Amino acid sequence: MDGFHSYVAIGDSFTEGLNDPLPDGSFRGWADRLAEILAEGRPGFRYANLAVRGKMLAEIWDEQLPIALDIKPGLVTVCAGGNDIIVPGADVDVVAERFEEGVAELRRAGIEVLMFTGPDTKQMSVMSVLRGKVGIYNAHLWAIAERHGARVVDLWAMDVLHDVRAWSDDRLHFTPEGHRRIALRAAEVLGVPTGQDWREPWPAADEHANWLTLRRSDLEWTKTHLLPWIRRHLRGESMGDGVTPKRPQLSPLLPSQQEAMLDAACGQARD
């Protein structure tokens, strides 16, 4: 593959990059990291990230999809629908049908599409109740990808994401190391060499102690993350209210910024 010279990321908090913080308080995330990989050796490479935390599928299709179609980049990554299916009573089949409509539009426009399955939450305390819905949605995503010629990053099959160190305290978003490994996996699916291996085992740790600590923190997690989410949902509010996309226009990665980010990625890989 000759590579991509333009890339637009659309989606929700996963694609915005929570919780992979930068010194200025913004978020980096797997999509920025993937853009850095794709930009290496391509001075004309341009990248936009339209993703905003808390966005539902309909909002992503209404607000972000038209921009991506208008830009018509070589590549669009899309991860959407996760916020929809976790709502009690949500019909996963209906969400999948709506998701397919957007993917079909992108493919009809001749844009390469990279999709993401949901991760396996089996070992995640409390969040494991969502495993069945995520599994059904993933089955739909694979079928959609096959019908429309899209590529898939299978987060469910990434065993390295089963480690508690891949997840931030909110149990919904990944740590910087989790984001780094997802970016490497995405590059691999696209056929872009990186010189790094997302499968590299985590350093030895007391896994039993890690998961026991996680389970003991269920009450704190409920107070800090779950109850506020329920309150926002009942009020019709979103954590993305008032938040704007971090890279709303297709633009080059600044050489100094790109080098600094790549240096940070290499440093994290060595840690």
Q: Tell me, what's the pLDDT at 229?
A: 58
Q: Which domains does the chain have, with CATH numbers?
A: 6-270 (3.40.50.1110)
What pTM was estimated for this model as a whole?
Answer: 0.86
Q: How far apart are CA 36 and CA 28, in angstroms?
A: 11
Q: How far apart are CA 226 and CA 61, in angstroms?
A: 26
> Does 93 or 121 have the greater pLDDT score?
93
> Among 3, 7, 4, which residue's Cα sits nearest to residue 250?
7
DSSP helix/strand/coil, 1 = coil
Q: How far apart are CA 32 and CA 216, in angstroms?
A: 34
The CA-atom distances, in angstroms, between 147 and each of 38, 140, 141, 227, 238 are 26, 11, 10, 39, 33
Q: How far apart are CA 176 and CA 166, in angstroms?
A: 8
Q: How far apart are CA 116 and CA 182, in angstroms?
A: 10
- Strands 46-49, 247-252: pairing is antiparallel
**Residue indicated by tokens 């409390």:** 126
- Strands 75-79, 247-252: pairing is unpaired
Cα 137-141-146 angle, rounded to 5 deg? 150
**Which range in 81-90, 131-140, 170-179, 255-264 is most confidently predicted, on average pLDDT?**
131-140
The tokens for 8 are 């637009």
Q: Tell me, what's the pLDDT at 256?
A: 43
Residue 88 pLDDT grade (very low, low, confident, very high; cuts 50, 70, 90): confident
Q: Does pLDDT of 11 surpass 90? A: yes
